Amino acid sequence: MQQPFDRAAEDLGNSIHFEHVNVFVPDQRLATLFYVTGLGLTRDPYLMVSDSNMWVNVGKSQFHLPDGEAQVLRGHTGVVISGREALLERLASVAKKLEGTKFAYREHNDHVEAICPWGNRVRCYEPNAARFGRITLGIPYVEFDVPVGSAKAICGFYPEIMGMPAELKNGDGTMARVKAGKDQYLQFRETDRKQPEFDGHHVQIYITDFSGPYRKLLERNLVSQEDNPYQYRFKDIVDLDSGKHLFTVEHEVRSATHPMFMRPLVNRNPAETNRTYAPGHEQWAWAMGPDEYDRRS
């Protein structure tokens, strides 16, 4: 019998959704100017609505921005957001108010890189179904800068401990790419640049086999925090053969039974203003429409 489909292409592994990147920010007003006004994203209207934390929706994912000493992710976050010219106009509109900070933005061939007031880098791409899946707004990947020679061992850690498929990329094996959800990845790219010490930022994933990875992490003394029945954390990625430390980034690990799993998120259309208001166009359609469906036969 002829097999017309590559069934493995649709495998997710144990992690079924990458939800958020969390970095502390010392000024909620400046964070609003960058993430909401500049990038055109949406502050969650339901949760964390005081001045001590802000959750910013990006399609089905989020940035979490609690108040505190600034944290900077060692790498960058990839964001799909349609409308390059509109994005550039929004970023230009906040430039004066963000003078004196690390804010900057620049155009590249396939993306616009925007730097937040404290140095976090966000690479903004136009939608591309073949590259990022059928989204017009979302976080398809987070990329970390890791030491030279660590990618191969990192690539071995995630499948064995977390049940998350991983592969070496770049031809020369200098980047580990770990599947964190449908068309979502954690990427670890080797660099010889000196990196700052880990400052406590974290990323969050939902997994289906919740206890299996927990037991394996516990056996290696890698569980760093016990949060609640639905959530635990680990920080250190190690070489499974030697036990050598490879890289540190906090992982907030949630079960698929977590009360907030796949909570519907509100995404506004940043083109809709009081001057351009058109009824029925307030929300952003974060997924591509049926006219762009990738038909398979």
Dump pLDDT digits (tens) for 101-114: 999 999 999 999 99
Nearest CA to 118 out of 250, 25, 21, 20 is that of: 25
Q: What phi and psi values does residue 131 have, to the nearest 5 degrees?
A: -95, -40
Answer whether residue 223 shows pLDDT above 50: yes
Chain segment 126-162, per-residue pLDDT in tens: 999 999 999 999 999 999 999 999 999 999 999 999 9
What pTM was estimated for this model as a whole?
Answer: 0.95
> Which pLDDT band, with edges at 50, 70 and 90, does 222 fall under?
very high
Domains of the chain, first to last: 7-273 (3.10.180.10)
- In the chain, at which residue ranges do the beta strands (DSSP E only) sit? 15-22, 42-43, 55-58, 61-64, 75-81, 104-107, 112-115, 121-125, 137-147, 166-169, 175-181, 184-191, 202-207, 223-228, 231-238, 245-255
Half-sphere exposure of 207 (CA within 13 A, CB side): 28
294 falls in which pLDDT band (50, 70, 90)?
low
